[in-house]
Protein backbone atom coordinates (compact mmCIF):
# COMPACT_ATOMS: atom_id res chain seq x y z
CA UNK A 1 0.00 0.00 0.00
CA UNK A 2 1.25 3.53 -0.68
CA UNK A 3 1.33 4.38 3.03
CA UNK A 4 3.76 1.49 3.64
CA UNK A 5 6.45 3.03 1.45
CA UNK A 6 8.54 5.53 3.41
CA UNK A 7 11.00 8.28 2.62
CA UNK A 8 11.90 9.33 6.19
CA UNK A 9 15.65 9.14 6.83
CA UNK A 10 15.21 7.33 10.17
CA UNK A 11 13.18 4.58 8.49
CA UNK A 12 15.59 4.29 5.56
CA UNK A 13 18.63 3.97 7.83
CA UNK A 14 16.93 1.30 9.94
CA UNK A 15 15.74 -0.72 6.93
CA UNK A 16 18.60 -0.69 4.43
CA UNK A 17 17.65 -4.13 3.07
CA UNK A 18 14.27 -2.86 1.86
CA UNK A 19 15.44 0.45 0.37
CA UNK A 20 15.54 1.31 -3.33
CA UNK A 21 16.30 4.32 -5.49
CA UNK A 22 13.29 5.35 -7.51
CA UNK A 23 12.82 7.90 -10.26
CA UNK A 24 9.76 10.02 -9.60
CA UNK A 25 7.48 10.39 -12.60
CA UNK A 26 4.78 12.46 -10.86
CA UNK A 27 4.68 14.14 -7.43
CA UNK A 28 1.10 15.02 -6.52
CA UNK A 29 0.67 17.31 -3.50
CA UNK A 30 -2.64 16.63 -1.69
CA UNK A 31 -2.71 18.78 1.42
CA UNK A 32 -1.00 16.89 4.25
CA UNK A 33 0.44 14.21 1.95
CA UNK A 34 2.18 13.82 -1.37
CA UNK A 35 1.71 10.88 -3.72
CA UNK A 36 4.89 9.85 -5.55
CA UNK A 37 4.35 7.90 -8.76
CA UNK A 38 7.40 5.80 -9.66
CA UNK A 39 8.55 2.92 -11.79
CA UNK A 40 11.37 0.49 -11.01
CA UNK A 41 12.21 -2.40 -13.36
CA UNK A 42 8.94 -1.91 -15.30
CA UNK A 43 6.91 -2.09 -12.08
CA UNK A 44 4.86 1.01 -11.33
CA UNK A 45 3.97 1.91 -7.75
CA UNK A 46 2.76 4.82 -5.64
CA UNK A 47 4.22 6.03 -2.35
CA UNK A 48 2.28 8.27 0.02
CA UNK A 49 4.68 10.52 1.93
CA UNK A 50 4.43 13.60 4.12
CA UNK A 51 3.75 16.83 2.22
CA UNK A 52 6.89 18.33 3.79
CA UNK A 53 8.97 16.07 1.52
CA UNK A 54 10.43 18.32 -1.13
CA UNK A 55 10.19 15.88 -4.03
CA UNK A 56 9.27 16.75 -7.60
CA UNK A 57 8.92 14.95 -10.92
CA UNK A 58 12.30 13.99 -12.32
CA UNK A 59 13.94 13.52 -8.90
CA UNK A 60 15.52 10.24 -7.85
CA UNK A 61 14.82 9.44 -4.21
CA UNK A 62 15.42 6.66 -1.72
CA UNK A 63 12.27 4.84 -0.67
CA UNK A 64 11.93 2.08 1.90
CA UNK A 65 9.30 -0.64 1.97
CA UNK A 66 7.74 -1.70 5.25
CA UNK A 67 8.30 -5.41 4.62
CA UNK A 68 6.15 -6.69 7.49
CA UNK A 69 3.18 -5.31 5.53
CA UNK A 70 4.28 -6.53 2.08
CA UNK A 71 2.42 -9.16 0.05
CA UNK A 72 3.92 -11.26 -2.74
CA UNK A 73 2.08 -12.95 -5.58
CA UNK A 74 3.00 -15.68 -8.05
CA UNK A 75 3.51 -14.07 -11.47
CA UNK A 76 1.82 -16.96 -13.29
CA UNK A 77 -1.08 -17.92 -11.04
CA UNK A 78 -1.46 -14.49 -9.40
CA UNK A 79 -2.06 -16.29 -6.10
CA UNK A 80 -0.62 -14.85 -2.91
CA UNK A 81 2.57 -16.68 -1.89
CA UNK A 82 3.44 -14.53 1.15
How many C-beta atoms lie closer than 10 Å to residue 17's C-beta? 7
What tens digit of pLDDT does each residue of 30-63 get? 989 999 999 888 889 999 999 998 899 999 999 9
Mean pLDDT of the 20-35 span: 94
- Looking at domain 2-69, its CATH class is mainly beta
Q: What is the pTM of this model?
A: 0.83
Sign of CA dihedral 74, 79, 40, 20: negative
Domain map (residue ranges) of the chain: 2-69
Amino acid sequence: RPEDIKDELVFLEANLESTISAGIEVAELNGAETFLYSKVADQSFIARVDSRSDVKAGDTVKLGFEMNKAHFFDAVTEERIY
